[in-house]
Amino acid sequence: MRPPDFAPVPAPIPAPIPEDRLHALVEAMRGQPVLMLVDLVVDRFLSGTPKRISREAPVLILRYAGESLAPGGGANAVANVMALGGLPRPFGLVGEDASGRELLAAFAERGIPTGAILVRPGYGTPTKTRILAGFPTGIKQQVVRLDREQEVVLRGEEVEALRRAIAEAGGARAAILSDYGYGSVVPALLPEIRKAVGQDGAILVDSRFRLGDFAGLDGATPNEEEAETLLGRPLDDLQGSDVGAGRELRERLRARFLLVTRGSRGMSLFTPDGAAHVPVHGTDQVADVTGAGDTVIATFALALAAGGSPREAMLLANYAGGVVVMKMGTSTVSREELHAAITTDPRPRLEMTWVEF
Catalytic residues: 294
DSSP string, 89-128: EEEEEEESSHHHHHHHHHHHHHT---TTEEEETT----EE
* Exposure letters 288-322 (e unless 16+ CB within 10 A, then b): bebbbbbbbbbbbbbbbbbebebbbbbbbbbbbbb
Task: Classify residue 129 as exposed, middle or buried by CB count within 10 Å of its CB (0-12, 13-18, 19+).
Answer: middle
List CB contacts of 139: < 8 A, sequence separation 6 or more.
287, 328
CA distance 192 to 35: 11
CA angle 317, 323, 325 (to 5 degrees): 100
DSSP string, 149-201: -------HHHHHHHHHHHHHS---SEEEEEE-SSS---GGGHHHHHHHH-TTS
List CB contacts of 49: < 8 A, sequence separation 6 or more.
62, 63, 65, 133, 134, 135, 136
CA distance 74 to 90: 9
In the DSSP assignment, the letter for residue 211 is: G
In the DSSP assignment, the letter for residue 265 is: G
CA distance 351 to 18: 12
